[in-house]
């Protein structure tokens, strides 16, 4: 096989109380990527979208992830990658993770599956480092494994897959710019013990609630008193979005990754659509352009098209 096309899903990281460790995959949107072997030991990037992302492999998230894969092998060839992004860069739903994961998963197929999923996440972290200046894997893990994942540790990398009941996400992407690096720089460096206890209690119970399929406990656990109060100031009408979504039947939600997208979880598709309508009503008053998505939580990570 010399060429393969993969679909790399959007992901929601943090999931309110799981800063830098918890995440889940969406079914839609996803990026389309075709990776093929080329005889020179180089990486070529071709974009078929209008986002103006760099084509210099050293400045491109997919490019640096592929370079990490080439460096880890004795490959005597390189890769060309054609990317059609549907996940808007900077939207907060794992656009850079999709590029990095799609590239390494596709290349791994072409070289006879030499790497495990865990190793592919490790390689893709080079992409997140370029995109945000930090080696976190909370979008990469669900992008490759699918479903809900918890990154227990990045050094060494340790990923836990979490069972979960049927859930639907409604996502609103207000088209304002929030740089992940800046949204990270504004966070407190130290956390009072009282807040830390509250947070790990909620994260532990959220993971247990997902595994048990206990929707009530999922709802009660999605609380964050450390990151959300700081970052939500960057998202106009965040409190109104949340209140209107809960009133429309969502069980909980918050900022997706470092924003600006906001996600809310619902038990049924019908409720997720009502939440989307509620989000529209709140945001149409702002004059800020926005997109919304409704998607089931995806069981699959990057998949062959
Ligand atoms: N966990 C990361 C953050 C996700 O919140 O900064 C953004 O890539």
Q: Which residue's alpha carbon is nearest to atom 4 within ligand 1?
A: 257
Atom of ligand 1 nearest to the CA of 184: 6
Question: What is the best residue among 61, 91, 121, 132 to mutate for testing ligand 1's pocket, by most ligand atoms within 8 Å of CB?
Answer: 132
Query: Please, what are the averages of pLDDT over each run of 10 residues along the chain (305 residues)?
Result: 96 98 98 96 92 90 95 92 95 96 98 97 93 90 98 97 98 94 93 97 98 98 97 97 98 97 98 98 96 97 97
Is 209 strand, coil or helix?
A: helix
What b/e sequence results for 91-126 when a residue is b if at least 16 CB atoms lie within 10 Å of its CB, and e otherwise? bbbbbbbbbbbbbbbbbbbbbeeebebeebbbbbbb
- Cα–Cα distance between 36 and 58 in angstroms, integer? 18
44 Cα–ligand 1 center, Å: 28
- The answer, as to whether pTM is greater than 0.95, is yes
- Cα–Cα distance between 9 and 301 in angstroms, integer? 6
Atom of ligand 1 nearest to the CA of 231: 5
Structural domains present in the chain: 3-161+300-304 (3.30.230.10), 168-296 (3.30.70.890)
- Cα–Cα distance between 277 and 244 in angstroms, integer? 10
Query: Which residues are catalytically annotated?
Result: 128, 180
Decide whether any atom of ligand 1 lies within 6 Å of the 132 Cβ. Answer: yes
Question: What is the best residue among 23, 180, 187, 203 to mutate for testing ligand 1's pocket, by most ligand atoms within 8 Å of CB?
Answer: 180
Decide whether any atom of ligand 1 lies within 6 Å of the 228 Cβ. Answer: no
Decide whether any atom of ligand 1 lies within 6 Å of the 257 Cβ. Answer: yes
What residue spans of 28-176 are helical by DSSP H?
61-71, 95-110, 117-132, 140-145
- pLDDT of 131 reads 87
19 Cα–ligand 1 center, Å: 7
248 Cα–ligand 1 center, Å: 27
């Amino acid at each position: 096989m010399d060429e393969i096309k993969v679909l790399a899903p959007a992901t929601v990281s943090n999931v309110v109380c799981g800063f830098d460790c918890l995440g889940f995959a969406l079914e839609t949107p996803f990026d389309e990527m075709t990776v093929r072997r080329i005889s020179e030991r180089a990486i070529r990037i071709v974009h078929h979208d209008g986002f103006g992302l760099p084509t210099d492999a050293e400045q491109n998230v997919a490019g640096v992830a592929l370079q990490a894969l080439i460096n880890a092998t004795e490959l005597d060839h390189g890769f060309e990658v054609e990317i059609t992004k549907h996940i808007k860069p900077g939207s907060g739903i794992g656009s850079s993770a999709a590029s990095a994961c799609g590239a390494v998963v596709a290349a791994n197929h072409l070289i006879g599956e030499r790497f495990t999923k865990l190793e592919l996440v490790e390689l893709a972290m080079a992409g997140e480092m370029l995109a945000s200046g930090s080696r976190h894997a909370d979008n990469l893990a669900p992008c490759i494994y699918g479903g809900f994942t918890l990154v227990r540790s990045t050094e060494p990398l340790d990923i836990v897959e979490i069972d979960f009941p049927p859930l639907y996400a409604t996502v609103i992407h207000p088209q304002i710019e929030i740089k992940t690096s800046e949204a990270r720089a504004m966070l407190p460096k130290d956390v009072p013990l009282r807040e830390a206890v509250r947070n790990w209690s909620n994260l532990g119970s959220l993971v247990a609630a997902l595994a048990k399929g206990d929707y009530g406990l999922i709802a009660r656990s999605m609380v964050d008193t450390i990151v959300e109060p700081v970052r939500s100031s960057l998202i106009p009408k965040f409190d109104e979005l949340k209140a209107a979504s809960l009133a429309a039947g969502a069980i909980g939600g918050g900022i997706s990754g470092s924003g600006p997208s906001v996600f809310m979880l619902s038990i049924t598709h019908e409720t997720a659509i009502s939440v989307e309508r509620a989000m529209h009503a709140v945001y149409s008053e702002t004059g800020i352009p926005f997109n919304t998505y409704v998607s089931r939580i995806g069981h699959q990570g990057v998949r062959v098209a």
